[in-house]
Amino acid sequence: MRDLPQIYAQQFKTSLAMMLQYRASLVIWLIAHVLEPLIFLVVWSAVSRSSGGSVGGYSPGDFAAYFIVLMLVNHVTYTWVMYEYEYEVRHGTLSFALLKPLHPIHSNIADNVSSKLITLPGMAVVAVILALIFRPVFHLQLWALAAFIPALFLAFLVRFLMEWMLALAAFWTTRVSAVNQVYFVVALFLSGQLAPIALLPLPVRVAAFILPFRWTVGFPVELFLGKLTPMQALTGIAVQLVWLGLSLLLMRVVWRAGLRIYSAVGA
Amino acid sequence: MSTLPAITVSKLSKTYIVPVREAGVKAALGSLFHRRKEEIKAVDGISFNLAPGEIVGFLGPNGAGKTTTLKMLSGLLHPTAGEVAVLGHVPWKREKAFLRQITLVMGQRNQLVWDIPAADTFELNRAIFRIPQADFRRTLDELSELLELGPLLRKPVRNLSLGERMKCEIAAALLHRPQVVFLDEPTIGLDVLMQRRIRSFILEYNRRYGATILLTSHYMADVEAMARRVIVIHRGKLLFDGELADLVRRFTAHKTIVVQLGDCLADLKAYGEVVSCEDGRTTLRVPKAETARVTERLLADLPVIDLTVEDPPIEEVIERVFTQGSA
């Protein structure tokens, strides 16, 4: 364990070198990440204006703030491990990772974090431009901003572990993209990426509370924007901790079971 | 000095369970509800040992179970039955102490990151294998010298030729100086010169570090150059384990006699099976027991300029082993 910082540092250098090889795809990737929240932002602002300047308490300025912060939070917590494992299991390159004296999740995390750090400045510039165009309204509170930092960190961990486990579906099925599709549709709805959870019908709100999705994206956004009471904030962080604990417990089981299959059918 | 084997394999088996489906729409629909499974015995009860520092050629036709065996030995596959021990470890447990001492090079797959120079992947391996900086530098210098890596290390891997990439792959796999090396067709697709260079490198690595090496190849020249001992498997079963020379002796009933007469006019059918005649050199195939008698007669009856007696080419021997094995 004591060598992990060094390994992460090295992985960071490698990821950096790799990403800089693909400057064009970085730009395309950035555009894709901006477009989705941008579309929802435009749609909801229009809806808000046409219904007299407010939908469920959200003004056009509130929607602008919500989707710009959402874009940044989503950028921080987002992963692509599913695609990686699908490729690696299908092409057998995972075998190389298994021949190394290090759990592959470490290079997955290091790769994710380093890519984020590289793309973050680009996202920040985009956020500023969007803010100038859409005039967001912020009701910031100091305690909420302080609570936002651990909430964001937990959101990243929970989402990473959850999607990493989902990525291991590649051990069981060659149709991982179908599994991903289902996941993305549910996540879009329940994480708050489509609309603030507060605007959705009660059954959906209940589902969003019970399931992990909201806690990986929507919750930190709501917290940042001052939409939550201190009690709601504490509850949210507690729920995140529960999901983190469950994920940590479950990931070992899933990993071992997956490896058993991988090593049974031909690595 | 202890003579404990570096690798012990005992009654090792691996059975794959694969879904089977007939062609056609009806079968496709049927398989939605009812999947038929078939068991395929890739490796079927093989046993052998390797002494420390030994180089052994592992031979067999495609699908014989060579790669499956190497994967079980390196811990990627879980055996269905039987025992394996490599340096005292059970491979499939993939203990760190085990992984630090072995390597597997697969000629058909690459571990190097495609878009960046090999040197960057080497650095990553250094961190992951916790190789001390000084050892890393020394090993890398030695490998660079032996494999003539020099300028290749700074080029993105995708810009390297197949041979150059293979050299870098081998270096990446050996940076942690493994004591046990599994090579699965390390020379596949390479030109003769590059094959020769990789062969001499592997021999040198074995000599310098006393590493135990098990290698598969379809090029008999590889095996002849590197391994005195060979293990032959076919359809998952062990056919032969011993010296290459013994294999040739055991599986050849014939010898080849090449007679130089100056022209191809004489009919030599009476002496043996005529394989070819070019530039006055006739190649005859004769039963091994009759070699001496036929040679004597040829020399007595004909104006022979030159005559040599040879074993058939190793490829031919192997072909015979495989066809007899499947009979």
Dihedral, A186, A187, A189, A195 alpha carbons, nearest 10: -170
Predicted pLDDT at B1 = 47
Q: Are A205 and A119 in contact (CB under 8 A)?
A: no
Model confidence, pTM: 0.85
Closest CA relative to residue B285, chosen from B317, B255, B315: B255
A100 touches chain B (CB under 8 A): yes
More reliable by pLDDT, B18 or A127: A127
Per residue in A147-183, pLDDT tens? 999 999 999 999 999 999 999 999 888 778 888 899 9
In the stretch 25-84 of chain A, residues with CB closer than 8 A to chain B read: none
Q: How far is B77 from chain A (nearest CA, A)?
A: 4
| Model-level ipTM above the cut of 0.90 | no
**Under an 8 A CB cutoff, do A14 and B111 touch?**
no
Contact B107, B166 (CB under 8 A): yes
Q: Is B185 within 8 Å of B108 (Cβ atoms)?
A: yes
Contacts of B93 in chain A (CB under 8 A): none
Does residue B327 surpass a pLDDT of 50?
A: no
The Cα A243–Cα A237 span in angstroms is 10
Q: Which two tokens stand for residue B18?
A: 């694969």
Distance from the Cα of B326 to chain A's closest Cα (Å) equals: 24
Contact B175, B207 (CB under 8 A): no
Q: Which residues of A touch B117 (CB under 8 A)?
A: 17
Q: Which residues, in sequence order, are bridge partners of residue B59?
A: B232
Domain B254-310 CATH (choose: 3.30.160, 3.30.870, 3.30.70, 3.40.50) = 3.30.70
For chain B, say whether A14 makes contact (Cβ under 8 Å). Answer: yes
Q: pLDDT-based confidence at B73, cuts 50/70/90? A: very high
pLDDT digits (tens, 9 = 90+) for A192-222: 999 999 999 999 999 999 999 999 999 999 9
Note the pLDDT of residue A155.
Answer: 98
**Residue B121 in 3-state DSSP?**
helix
Backbone dihedral region of B77: left (phi > 0), alpha (psi from -120 to 50 degrees) or beta?
A: beta
Of A109-113, A129-133, B36-40, which has the strongest mean pLDDT?
Answer: A129-133
Angstrom distances, CA of residue B8 to CA of A86, B50, B51, B72, B84: 34, 7, 9, 12, 6
| All structural domains of chain A with their residue ranges | 4-265
Contact B211, B180 (CB under 8 A): yes
Nearest alpha carbon to residue A66 among A244, A229, A251, A218: A218
CB contact under 8 A, B111 and A21: no
Going by C-alpha positions, the residue among B184, B86, B105, B108 that lies closest to residue B143 is: B105
Which amino acid does the sequence have at B196?
R
* A92 against B292, higher pLDDT: B292
Of residues A260 and A186, more confidently modeled:
A186
Cα-based torsion angle of the residue sequence B158, B161, B166, B172 in order, rounded to the nearest 10 degrees:
-40
Residue among A11, A101, A260 whose CB faces B99 most closely: A101
From CA B87, how far away is CA A254, in angstroms rounded? 29
Q: How many CB atoms lie within 10 A of CB A9?
A: 13
Among A209-218, B57-66, B82-91, B136-145, the range scoring the smallest mean pLDDT is: B57-66
Domain spans, chain B:
7-249, 254-310
Q: Mark yes or no for CB contact B111/A93 under 8 Å.
A: yes
Three-class DSSP category at A26 = helix
- For residue A140 the two structure tokens come to 């910031």
Q: Which of A95, A254, A267, A264 minimizes the C-alpha distance to B18?
A: A264
pLDDT at residue B84 in the model = 96
Provide the pLDDT confidence category of residue B119 given band limits of 50, 70 and 90.
very high
Q: Which residues of B touch A96 (CB under 8 A)?
A: 109, 111
Predicted confidence band of residue A145 (pLDDT cuts 50, 70, 90): very high
Residue B325 has a pLDDT of 60
CATH number of B7-249: 3.40.50.300
Q: pLDDT category, A265, cuts 50, 70, 90? A: low
Does B326 score more than 60 pLDDT? no
Gap between the Cα atoms of A47 and A60, Å rounded: 9
Tens of pLDDT along B195-223? Answer: 999 999 999 999 999 999 999 988 888 88
Residues with Cβ within 8 Å of B249's Cβ and at least 6 positions away in sequence, in order, are: none
Q: Which of A214, A204, A188, A196 is nearest to A54 (CA)?
A: A196
The answer to whether the Cβ–Cβ distance between B77 and A18 falls below 8 Å is no
Average pLDDT, chain A: 91
Contact with chain B for residue A180, Cβ under 8 A: no
Mutate to test the interface with A, among B71, B76, B108 (most CBs of A within 10 A): B76
What residues have CB less than 8 Å from B103, skipping those under 6 apart? A99, B74, B173, B174, B176, B178, B180, B181, B182
Tell me the average pLDDT across B55-74.
Answer: 92
Across residues B87-92, what is the average pLDDT? 95
Q: Which residues of A touch B159 (CB under 8 A)?
A: none
Secondary structure letter of residue B155 according to DSSP: S
Query: Which of the residues B116, B125, B129 would you substitute to probe the A interface, choosing the one with the greatest number of A C-beta atoms within 10 Å?
Result: B116
What sections of B77-161 are H helices per DSSP?
96-99, 118-128, 133-147
What are the tens digits of pLDDT across the range B237-287? 999 999 988 888 888 788 889 998 888 878 888 888 888 888 888 889 898
Mean pLDDT value of segment A115-134: 91
- Tell me how far apart the alpha carbons of residues B318 and B233 are, in angstroms, rounded to a whole number: 11
Task: Return the number of CB contacts < 8 Å for A and B.
Answer: 83
3-class secondary-structure state, position B140: helix
What integer pLDDT is reported at residue B318 of this predicted model? Answer: 79
How big is the CA angle at B114 (ends B109 and B119), to the nearest 5 degrees?
105
SS3 B149: coil
pLDDT-derived band at B180, boundaries 50, 70, 90: very high
A231 touches chain B (CB under 8 A): no
Q: How far apart are CA B86 and CA B98, in angstroms?
A: 8
Contacts of A260 in chain B (CB under 8 A): 78
The CA distance from B321 to B235, in Å, is 12
CA B282 to chain A, closest CA, distance in angstroms equals 49
Q: Which of B76, B100, B130 sits opposite A95 (nearest CB)?
A: B76
Rg (CA), chain B: 24
**CB proximity A115 to B under 8 Å:** no
DSSP state of A168: G
User: Predicted confidence band at B132 (pLDDT cuts at 50, 70, 90)?
Assistant: very high
Token pair for B227: 């391994």
What residues in chain B have their Cβ under 8 A from chain A's Cβ atoms?
A: 16-18, 68, 71, 74-78, 92, 94, 96, 99-100, 102-104, 106, 109, 111, 113, 115-117, 120-121, 123-130, 156
| pLDDT for the residue numbered B2 | 55
Please give the share of chain B, as a percent, with pLDDT higher than 90. 54
Q: Which residue of A has its CA nearest to B116?
A: A18
Helix, strand, coil distribution of chain B in percent, nearest 5: 40, 30, 30
Interface contact B78-A260, CB threshold 8 A: yes
